[in-house]
Amino acid sequence: MKKGLFGRAFANSPIFALGYFTNDALTPNLNKKIKKAHQVSKKLFFFFICVCVKGYSYRLLTFQALAEAESIIKTYEAKLAEVEKMKKMAKQMVQSCEALMFKLEKKEKMLDDLGKLFRAPRMDVLKGKEKKLDYLGQLYSAPRMDLLKEIKNADGRYAGRN
Protein backbone atom coordinates (compact mmCIF):
# COMPACT_ATOMS: atom_id res chain seq x y z
CA MET A 1 0.00 0.00 0.00
CA LYS A 2 1.49 3.12 -1.22
CA LYS A 3 0.47 6.26 0.39
CA GLY A 4 0.36 9.38 -1.55
CA LEU A 5 1.23 12.88 -0.63
CA PHE A 6 -1.99 13.43 1.28
CA GLY A 7 -1.78 10.04 2.96
CA ARG A 8 1.52 10.91 4.48
CA ALA A 9 0.37 14.38 5.46
CA PHE A 10 -2.66 13.17 7.32
CA ALA A 11 -0.97 10.14 8.85
CA ASN A 12 -0.15 12.03 12.03
CA SER A 13 -3.33 14.11 12.04
CA PRO A 14 -4.91 12.53 15.16
CA ILE A 15 -1.86 13.41 17.24
CA PHE A 16 -1.83 16.90 15.73
CA ALA A 17 -5.51 17.39 16.45
CA LEU A 18 -5.06 16.23 20.00
CA GLY A 19 -2.28 18.74 20.52
CA TYR A 20 -4.33 21.46 18.83
CA PHE A 21 -7.30 21.10 21.09
CA THR A 22 -5.30 20.80 24.29
CA ASN A 23 -2.48 23.29 23.98
CA ASP A 24 -3.79 25.83 21.49
CA ALA A 25 -1.00 24.87 19.15
CA LEU A 26 -2.18 26.63 16.00
CA THR A 27 -3.93 29.66 17.44
CA PRO A 28 -2.67 30.44 20.91
CA ASN A 29 -5.11 32.50 22.96
CA LEU A 30 -3.06 35.42 24.20
CA ASN A 31 -5.60 36.47 26.81
CA LYS A 32 -5.44 33.04 28.44
CA LYS A 33 -1.67 33.13 28.40
CA ILE A 34 -1.64 36.62 29.93
CA LYS A 35 -4.13 35.60 32.64
CA LYS A 36 -2.07 32.53 33.45
CA ALA A 37 1.07 34.65 33.57
CA HIS A 38 -0.66 37.11 35.93
CA GLN A 39 -1.92 34.29 38.13
CA VAL A 40 1.51 32.70 38.24
CA SER A 41 3.14 36.07 38.94
CA LYS A 42 0.60 36.74 41.73
CA LYS A 43 1.29 33.33 43.21
CA LEU A 44 5.02 33.92 42.97
CA PHE A 45 4.62 37.40 44.47
CA PHE A 46 2.56 36.09 47.38
CA PHE A 47 4.98 33.23 47.81
CA PHE A 48 7.88 35.70 47.80
CA ILE A 49 6.06 37.94 50.31
CA CYS A 50 5.28 34.95 52.53
CA VAL A 51 8.87 33.81 52.38
CA CYS A 52 10.09 37.31 53.20
CA VAL A 53 7.61 37.73 56.05
CA LYS A 54 8.34 34.29 57.38
CA GLY A 55 12.04 34.91 57.00
CA TYR A 56 11.70 38.19 58.87
CA SER A 57 9.57 36.59 61.54
CA TYR A 58 12.02 33.71 61.74
CA ARG A 59 14.80 36.25 62.11
CA LEU A 60 12.87 37.97 64.88
CA LEU A 61 12.20 34.64 66.51
CA THR A 62 15.83 33.62 66.19
CA PHE A 63 16.99 36.95 67.62
CA GLN A 64 14.53 36.61 70.50
CA ALA A 65 15.58 33.01 71.04
CA LEU A 66 19.24 34.00 70.94
CA ALA A 67 18.65 36.82 73.44
CA GLU A 68 16.76 34.46 75.74
CA ALA A 69 19.48 31.83 75.38
CA GLU A 70 22.14 34.41 76.22
CA SER A 71 20.24 35.49 79.34
CA ILE A 72 19.85 31.85 80.39
CA ILE A 73 23.57 31.31 79.82
CA LYS A 74 24.41 34.37 81.94
CA THR A 75 22.22 33.22 84.82
CA TYR A 76 23.66 29.71 84.53
CA GLU A 77 27.21 31.09 84.61
CA ALA A 78 26.38 33.21 87.67
CA LYS A 79 24.90 30.22 89.49
CA LEU A 80 27.85 28.09 88.43
CA ALA A 81 30.24 30.71 89.85
CA GLU A 82 28.31 30.64 93.16
CA VAL A 83 28.48 26.85 93.24
CA GLU A 84 32.21 26.94 92.55
CA LYS A 85 32.71 29.44 95.40
CA MET A 86 30.70 27.23 97.75
CA LYS A 87 32.66 24.19 96.59
CA LYS A 88 35.93 26.01 97.25
CA MET A 89 34.76 27.05 100.73
CA ALA A 90 33.61 23.51 101.50
CA LYS A 91 36.95 22.15 100.31
CA GLN A 92 38.81 24.56 102.61
CA MET A 93 36.58 23.58 105.54
CA VAL A 94 37.17 19.89 104.87
CA GLN A 95 40.92 20.48 104.71
CA SER A 96 40.91 22.39 108.01
CA CYS A 97 38.78 19.65 109.62
CA GLU A 98 41.16 17.00 108.32
CA ALA A 99 44.11 18.94 109.76
CA LEU A 100 42.36 19.21 113.15
CA MET A 101 41.48 15.50 113.06
CA PHE A 102 45.12 14.69 112.32
CA LYS A 103 46.23 16.84 115.27
CA LEU A 104 43.65 15.22 117.56
CA GLU A 105 44.68 11.73 116.49
CA LYS A 106 48.31 12.65 117.11
CA LYS A 107 47.49 13.99 120.60
CA GLU A 108 45.32 10.95 121.34
CA LYS A 109 48.16 8.65 120.38
CA MET A 110 50.56 10.66 122.52
CA LEU A 111 48.16 10.47 125.49
CA ASP A 112 47.73 6.73 124.99
CA ASP A 113 51.51 6.32 124.99
CA LEU A 114 51.79 8.43 128.15
CA GLY A 115 48.96 6.47 129.75
CA LYS A 116 50.74 3.23 129.03
CA LEU A 117 53.89 4.58 130.61
CA PHE A 118 52.47 6.32 133.68
CA ARG A 119 48.86 5.43 134.30
CA ALA A 120 48.86 1.67 134.12
CA PRO A 121 51.55 1.01 136.74
CA ARG A 122 50.20 3.70 139.02
CA MET A 123 46.73 2.19 138.90
CA ASP A 124 48.11 -1.14 140.01
CA VAL A 125 50.09 0.53 142.79
CA LEU A 126 47.06 2.54 143.84
CA LYS A 127 44.89 -0.56 143.90
CA GLY A 128 47.44 -2.36 146.09
CA LYS A 129 47.67 0.62 148.44
CA GLU A 130 43.90 0.87 148.48
CA LYS A 131 43.67 -2.76 149.58
CA LYS A 132 46.20 -2.14 152.33
CA LEU A 133 44.34 0.96 153.44
CA ASP A 134 41.06 -0.95 153.47
CA TYR A 135 42.61 -3.67 155.61
CA LEU A 136 44.14 -1.14 157.98
CA GLY A 137 40.87 0.77 158.08
CA GLN A 138 39.07 -2.39 159.02
CA LEU A 139 41.61 -3.02 161.75
CA TYR A 140 41.41 0.40 163.29
CA SER A 141 37.80 1.24 162.66
CA ALA A 142 36.37 -2.07 163.84
CA PRO A 143 35.91 -2.60 167.57
CA ARG A 144 38.93 -4.21 169.13
CA MET A 145 36.93 -6.82 170.97
CA ASP A 146 35.45 -8.24 167.82
CA LEU A 147 38.90 -8.70 166.36
CA LEU A 148 40.17 -10.28 169.53
CA LYS A 149 37.30 -12.70 169.66
CA GLU A 150 38.13 -13.95 166.23
CA ILE A 151 41.78 -14.45 167.02
CA LYS A 152 42.25 -17.58 169.13
CA ASN A 153 45.22 -18.66 171.13
CA ALA A 154 46.83 -22.00 170.83
CA ASP A 155 44.87 -23.33 173.79
CA GLY A 156 41.53 -22.40 172.16
CA ARG A 157 40.80 -19.42 174.25
CA TYR A 158 40.30 -15.99 172.76
CA ALA A 159 43.27 -13.70 173.00
CA GLY A 160 41.19 -10.95 174.54
CA ARG A 161 40.48 -13.02 177.65
CA ASN A 162 43.43 -13.60 179.76
Residue 120 lies in a domain: yes
pLDDT (mean) for 30-55: 73
> What share of the chain in percent tops pLDDT 90?
15
State residue 99's pLDDT score. 92
pLDDT (mean) for 59-71: 77
- Pick the closest to residue 25 from 33, 36, 17 (CA basis): 17
Considering only residues 103 and 8, tell me which one the structure prediction assigns the higher pLDDT: 103
Residue 36 lies in a domain: yes
Q: Length of the chain in residues, anyone? A: 162
Report the distance separating Cα 13 and Cα 140, nearest Å: 158
Count of domains observed in the chain: 1
Domain extent, residue 130, equals: 13-150
Residue 80 lies in a domain: yes
Residue 5 lies in a domain: no
Residue 6 lies in a domain: no
Mean pLDDT of the chain: 71
Residue 54 lies in a domain: yes
Residue 157 lies in a domain: no
Residue 128 lies in a domain: yes
Question: Does residue 73 have a pLDDT over 60?
Answer: yes
pLDDT (mean) for 65-85: 87
Backbone dihedral angles phi then psi of residue 25, each to the nearest 5 degrees: -70, -45
Backbone dihedral region of 23: left (phi > 0), alpha (psi from -120 to 50 degrees) or beta?
alpha
- Could you tell me the pTM of the whole model? 0.34
